[in-house]
Amino acid sequence: MYKLKSPRFNRVAPVRILWRVFRVLASILVLLVVVLAVGTTVTVLRSGDDGFVPPVLPLTVNDVSKLNAVRVGQVLRPESIADIQAALSATSGRVSIGGGRFSQGGQTAYPDSLHIDMRSFNKVLAIDEDRKTVTVQPGIRWRDLQAAIDPHNLSIKIMQTYANFTVGGSLSVNVHGRYIGEGPLVGSVLGLKLLLADGSLVDASPNTNADIFYGAIGGYGGLGVIVEATLQLEDNIAVERKVRVMPIENYATHFRDNVRDNSDVVFHNADIYPPHYNSLRDVSWLTTNKTPTVAERLIPEGKDYYWQVKAAEFVAASDFGKWTREHIIDPIWYYPERVEWRNYEASYDVAELEPADRSEYSYGLREYFVPVERFDEFQVQMRDIFQRNKANIINVSVRHAKADPNTLLNWAKTEVFAFVVYYRQGTDAAAKEAVKVWSTEMIDAAIALGGAYYLPYQLQASPEQFAAAYPKAQEYFGLKYRLDPNNRFVNLLWEKYYPLNRDLLAQTKANLGDYYRGKEQTFLTIPEWYLVFQPKEYADYLAEGRDPSTFPFYESIEEYWALYDRAIAISRQNYPANTEYRTMLRVIGISTTVEYLAKGAYEASIGRLTRWSAGGEDTPEDKVIQQAHRAYSKLIYDEPWYEFDFAGWRDRLWDATSLWGDHPLRKWERKLFFSAEFGLKSLYAKAIKYAAQSTYGETDKRIYLTAQRLASNSIHLAKEPEGVEMLAGGGDDFLMSLPRWGGFTKTMPRFASDEWAISDISGNHQIVVSLLGSAGVDVSTLAGSELFRSALVSDKERERIFVLVGVADLTHFLEDVAKNRQGQRLELEHIFDY
């Protein structure tokens, strides 16, 4: 029997042994994977710079939506008319004007302009109780004006719902409110003083310089600077809230019969409930002799609106939130009797709507005006547009306004209903495009019914839509040309619609497709580029003959995540989230963390042992590895990392070194470790290359800028620098193409500052530059603003300094760095080209 069983046993035993060995090896591998996964998670969580406080970006003007950051050239905060006149006299370029910055499409700023921030120009100049008038400087907030007139028992006649705006900003957009029997703000303005581009001061009223008066109100800062305004006031009286819910199709008749001509109604609006848009709530405030149920005469400033903001976020998050608002929150909120002072009801604070973070989601307004007799037609079209496009509408508030026949950019050509749309949107390009689709349809619907759309929001309407909604725009443009012949008063609104400010190269840029790059990407590329700087630092470290076992891989991980946290913090504070880019940074950061943890652990143990066995000397294998890392560090400045020939260098190691020789333990350990490292990277690179090309196509290796020849060299026609291709010209502008990445950093210093002026790079007007210098080196004299700095992981005596530079100042900045380099103080490392 043994003879029968023995052969069987001999065949099975080796299989069992192999199976046991495999199980042991598999267990070890799983354990290593678990340890590496846990180590990576712990390292990522512990690394970074969570406490980093992002600096306020200099010369950056944004608005409440956080979607329109604009880098201006200079900011003036005047306190007198003389301050503005002096600035206009001392400069000759573009001028933009801003106040509370509650417009949502760049209506207060223009790139590289002299930006006049009016918020310090904010005094009450005179109050006349008998005539019920007030004269103010335009930088005053309505809330501060209310505090000044309330002791006189006076109230604003016409204003918008929220009191945070400046008077000048409200005049410039010709606001409206919830006031029944009134129209746009122009109806309460008795007179203005306007400062023109030549520094002259003009009085304007309905009877004096009426064309200027009706052009400046609702003129969005295109004619000059409003420096004084006289307003008609009303008595501050008690008002009582009355609420009624009804089907939307009943509203037009209800309004005509019960609200329009009711002299007791002071404030009125009707809230239409999404997502069905078939019911609304009439909220009216009527004059009363009752004692106010609210003791305060004005809403106190500095209130905590935490729960109101959370409620708005809850409503915006889902249809269930919207149902809850309509059927639970609002019925409870509007149930109690409420009597207030008129000033109290007019002093709302936008803080009750302001989310803590607008980087991934932002909240916006759109307004559409239709003749009162077309209400029913429009609301049906509105419902269809919103539902078909799945727009995330939070509320539609219906307001009423009397006709405004006189202002040149009048949105109420007849008596109108205003549909004020409050919505939430994502901040990425796809979300913006989605909003543009439904807003464009809404504009077309309003225009088709003889109405218009409001201009202080995102600038997505076409020039043709603008012209159809504002037929007197040509008259306005003629007045602007007469008062401002050099087109000094400009903002992003007039950049798009004023004919004399059109970009002659706009179509060429649009045809390129990828001319424009996100402003935030000059910051977000910082951690990505550290994965280029670190290999160079490692290659330099090895080239000096230093021990790879002692290279600070763990500190490199910490540095990546610190740069990530800082870049994200700066971007989040000023720009849309760009979630796709941020996801990519997290992915490559985690993969790099895994690699550096494994490599650092290996080098600190086995690598250290074999280095010791070789007496600390480099073997031929070490030298080939040094060459490979040098080649890799050079390539990735100009090409994607996955283009590197990892497999070729692995094979070269075996071909260029002998199998035996001095220090055999080190030789074979280096051969095997390097082969494993570069073999895995070769496979990973192929996978990433395939994924990248499948998703994005071939990598674009060119970037674009717009430049002008300086007048002093126009006769000699300064030639474009080496490596730069001239693509097109339009007026004084030239569109140029140049290499990206490392090639961009090499090419930009060739733009001599006395030959070319660069106005934008990829449509942007500021860019991040990194410098290398000795620890503590002073960069305050350079034409840029330091963002932050950190020591090199392998040399604590040297620092990497990140500086934000205006594109218009970039050539001068690079020249100054080059001069400093002669003293070995500073060195240009990289220009972060979006």
CB 548 within 8 A of CB 542: yes
pLDDT digits (tens, 9 = 90+) for 467-489: 999 999 999 999 999 999 999 99
What is the rounded average pLDDT of the residues 698-708?
89
Q: What is the DSSP string of 61-80?
A: E--TTS---EE-SEEE--SS
Residues 6+ away with beta carbon under 8 Å from 769: 784, 802, 803, 804, 805, 810, 813, 828, 830, 831, 832
Question: What CA–CA distances, in Å, run from 12 to 5, 18, 717?
Answer: 11, 10, 87
Question: What CA–CA distances, in Å, run from 362 to 100, 124, 355, 461, 722?
Answer: 18, 34, 8, 19, 43
The lowest-confidence range among 34-48, 293-307, 498-512, 775-789 is: 34-48
Cβ atoms < 10 Å from Cβ of 235: 11
**How would you class 690 by CB atoms within 10 Å of its CB: exposed for 0-12, middle for 13-18, buried for 19 or more?**
exposed
| pLDDT on residue 717 | 65
- The confidence band for 197, taking pLDDT boundaries of 50, 70 and 90, is very high
Closest CA relative to residue 369, chosen from 472, 268, 423, 447: 447
Q: How far apart are CA 650 and CA 678, in angstroms?
A: 6
Q: What is the pTM of this model?
A: 0.88
- Report whether pLDDT(513) > 90: no
Taken as a whole, the chain contains a residue count of 834
Closest CA relative to residue 175, chosen from 193, 190, 158, 191: 158
| pLDDT on residue 8 | 47
Q: How far apart are CA 450 and CA 378, in angstroms?
A: 11
Residues 6+ away with beta carbon under 8 Å from 356: 309
pLDDT digits (tens, 9 = 90+) for 616-665: 999 999 999 999 999 999 999 999 999 999 999 999 999 999 999 999 99
CB 522 within 8 A of CB 768: yes
Closest CA relative to residue 201, chosen from 189, 191, 214: 191
Q: What percent of the chain has pLDDT over 70?
A: 94
- The confidence band for 44, taking pLDDT boundaries of 50, 70 and 90, is confident
Residue 352 sits at the vertex; the CA angle it makes with 351 and 354, to the nearest 5 degrees, is 55
What is the rounded average pLDDT of the residues 719-729?
91
pLDDT digits (tens, 9 = 90+) for 368-401: 999 999 999 999 999 999 999 999 999 999 999 9
| pLDDT on residue 786 | 97
- The confidence band for 16, taking pLDDT boundaries of 50, 70 and 90, is confident
| pLDDT on residue 131 | 98
pLDDT digits (tens, 9 = 90+) for 273-286: 999 999 999 999 99
- Report whether pLDDT(817) > 90: yes
Q: How far apart are CA 447 and CA 811, in angstroms?
A: 47
pLDDT digits (tens, 9 = 90+) for 350-365: 999 998 888 889 999 9
Closest CA relative to residue 366, chosen from 255, 291, 274, 458: 458
Question: What CA–CA distances, in Å, run from 505 to 105, 625, 640, 765?
Answer: 22, 49, 31, 17
